[in-house]
Amino acid sequence: MSPQKILVIEDDSAIRQGLVDALTFSRYSVIEAKSGNAGLEMAIRAGYDLLLLDLILPERDGLDILREVKQVRPSTPVIILTAKGDENDRVAGLRLGADDYVVKPFSVKELLARVEAVLRRSPERPVDVPHVTLACGTADFARREIRYQDGQRAELSEREAELLRYLACNSGRVISRDEILSRVWRINPAKVETRTIDMHVARLREKLHDDSDDPKLLLTVRGKGYMFAAAEISGKKGN
C-alpha cells in the first residue's frame, strides 16, 4: 500500500519545509501549498488523508479554508497550526470540525504523534484499484469504460466511474448515501436532498449487466446504502 498522503498549507517557507521534511522522513507522502487560495483549491480537489492547516495565511485565512473543506469533505481529518496565544482561533477551529491542533513552536515529535493519533482515529482508507474484473468483463477506471467479454464496450461518465471505483475500493462494506455524497460528489449531505445516487446506481447496473430486480454486484442494503459485492480486483494500490 502506498504511504498516507498529507496536505500541508503553510505560508512560512521555513516551517513548511520543516513539516515536509519531517513527514517525508516518517514515510508520509506530502503535497504542499503556501497561500490561502492555492491551499483551498488543493484542499477541495486533491486526494489526501490528512490536512495540516495554518490559520494565518495570505489571500484567505485558515478558518475560511477549514469551513469550506468541512462543507464539501466533512469527514476529512484536519490538524490546525496556531500561534501560542491564539486560544480563540483554536476554539473556533475545533468548533468548525478540526480534529486537533498544534501550537507553534512545536517539536517534530509532538507533531508526528498528533498526526499518527488523528490518522488512527480516521476511517480506514480503502484500497484504490485501477480496474476490476467482473462477470461481464472488466471495468477500466483509467479509460472510464467497461470492456465486455464479447469485445463490446460501454463508456462510463466521470461520476459513474468515480462511484463505481469508490464502491469497488470498499468492496464488502455497506456505504451510506451520506458517505457517497461526501466522498464522491464532495458535497455536504446535510444540505442536500437528492436521488441522484440511486439514478447513477441504476445506470451502472445496466452497464454492468446486473439485474436491477435481483442485483448480484451492486447491492442495495435497505435503510443503510449500497455495497459492492466481492469481485476479482486487479492491480491494487494505495490511494
**Nearest residue to 179 via CA among 210, 131, 137, 221:** 221
pTM of full prediction above 0.75: no
Average pLDDT of the chain is 86
CATH superfamily of 5-121: Response regulator (3.40.50.2300)
Q: At what angle do helices 62-72 and 36-45 cross, to 10 degrees?
A: 20
**Nearest residue to 154 via CA among 212, 210, 197, 194:** 210
* 93/90 Cα distance (integer angstroms): 5
pLDDT of residue 237: 46
pLDDT of residue 8: 97
- What's the mean pLDDT in 100-114? 92
User: Is the per-residue pLDDT at 50 higher than 90?
Assistant: yes
Q: Mapping DSSP to helix (H, G, I), strand (E, B) and coil, where does residue 109 land?
A: helix
Q: Where are the domains of the chain?
A: 5-121, 127-238
Q: Which residues contact 28 (CB under 8 A, 6 or more apart)?
A: 3, 4, 5, 6, 115
- 127-238 is classed CATH 1.10.10.10: yes
**Nearest residue to 119 via CA among 65, 71, 67, 51:** 51
pLDDT of residue 231: 54
- For the record, the C-alpha cell of 79 comes out as 490538524
Tell me the pLDDT tens digit for each residue of 130-188: 788 888 899 998 889 999 999 999 999 989 998 998 888 878 888 888 888 877 887 76
- For the record, the C-alpha cell of 68 comes out as 469550506
